C-alpha cells in the first residue's frame, strides 16, 4: 500500500505527453485504485517480441520521446529507476508514454520516505536494464541511472535482446559494471554509428 501511495504521489506531479497521465486515486472497501489514461497500443517489449527489431529511425524516435518524458520527471525531482521496454507504451500514432512509477525515487531524501530501505531492499529495478551504480545501491541513484537504462532499452529495440541476455541475474548485474555489450553493428550492420 505504501508503494502504491508513492506511485500515486509521483504520478500526480507529472503532466507530460510522454508520461501516462494519472487522473484519480483512492480506496474503496479496502481496495486501492489508480485511474490512469488509457493508451491503445503495445509496450515496446511486446512490440519487438511480436514484430521483430525496430528500424533504427523508429528506435531513435521511441528513445527520444522516452527521454523527453524522463527529462520531465527529472525536472520535477524524480528518477524512475525502472526504465525498460515493458514500461514504455507506444500508441497507434507512434507516441511513447512512460508508465510504472512504482519505483520512482524523489531526489530530495526528505521526500523519499525510504520505503525500500525500511524493507531492506538495496537493488531495485530490472537486471537487464539496470545502471551499474543502481546495482550497488538503488537509493543513491540520480538521473544518470535512467539515461543508462534508456541506452540499454535502445540496444534491445535494435537487437531484440537485452545487452547481456544469457547470464544469471547476478552475472548480468556484474556485466553491467565490468563489460561492454556486443556492438550493435555485429547484428545490425544497417544501423549507422
Report CA dihedral (125, 131, 135, 141) to the nearest 10 degrees.
-80
Name the active-site residue from 82, 100, 128, 146.
Answer: 82
Residues in contact with 7: Cβ distance below 8 Å, sequence separation at least 6, in sequence order: 34, 100, 101, 102, 104
The values of phi and psi at residue 55, to 5°, are -60, 145
Closest by alpha carbon to 10, among 76, 86, 71? 76
**Residue in the block written with cell 497500443:** 41
Locate cell 555485429: which residue?
186
* Residue carrying the nine cell digits 508503494: 3
Q: Is 91 a catalytic residue?
A: no
Q: Active-site residues: which are they? A: 82
Amino acid at each position: 500500500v505504501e508503494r502504491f501511495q508513492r506511485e500515486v504521489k509521483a504520478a500526480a506531479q507529472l503532466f507530460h505527453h510522454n508520461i501516462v497521465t494519472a487522473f484519480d486515486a483512492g480506496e474503496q472497501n479496502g481496495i486501492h485504485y489508480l485511474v490512469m489514461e488509457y493508451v491503445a497500443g503495445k509496450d515496446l517489449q511486446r512490440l519487438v517480441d511480436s514484430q521483430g527489431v525496430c528500424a533504427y529511425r523508429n528506435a531513435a524516435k521511441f528513445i527520444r520521446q522516452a527521454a523527453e518524458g524522463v527529462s520531465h520527471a527529472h525536472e520535477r525531482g524524480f528518477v524512475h529507476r525502472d526504465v525498460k521496454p515493458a514500461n514504455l507504451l507506444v500508441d497507434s500514432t507512434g507516441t511513447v508514454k512512460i508508465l510504472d512509477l512504482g519505483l520512482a525515487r524523489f531526489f530530495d531524501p526528505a521526500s523519499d520516505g525510504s520505503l525500500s530501505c525500511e524493507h531492506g531492499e538495496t537493488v531495485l529495478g530490472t537486471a537487464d536494464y539496470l545502471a551499474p551504480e543502481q546495482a550497488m545501491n538503488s537509493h543513491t541513484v540520480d538521473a544518470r541511472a535512467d539515461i543508462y537504462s534508456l541506452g540499454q532499452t535502445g540496444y534491445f529495440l535494435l537487437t531484440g535482446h537485452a545487452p547481456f541476455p544469457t547470464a544469471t541475474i547476478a552475472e548480468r548485474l556484474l556485466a553491467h559494471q565490468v563489460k561492454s555489450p556486443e556492438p550493435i553493428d555485429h547484428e545490425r550492420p544497417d544501423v549507422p554509428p
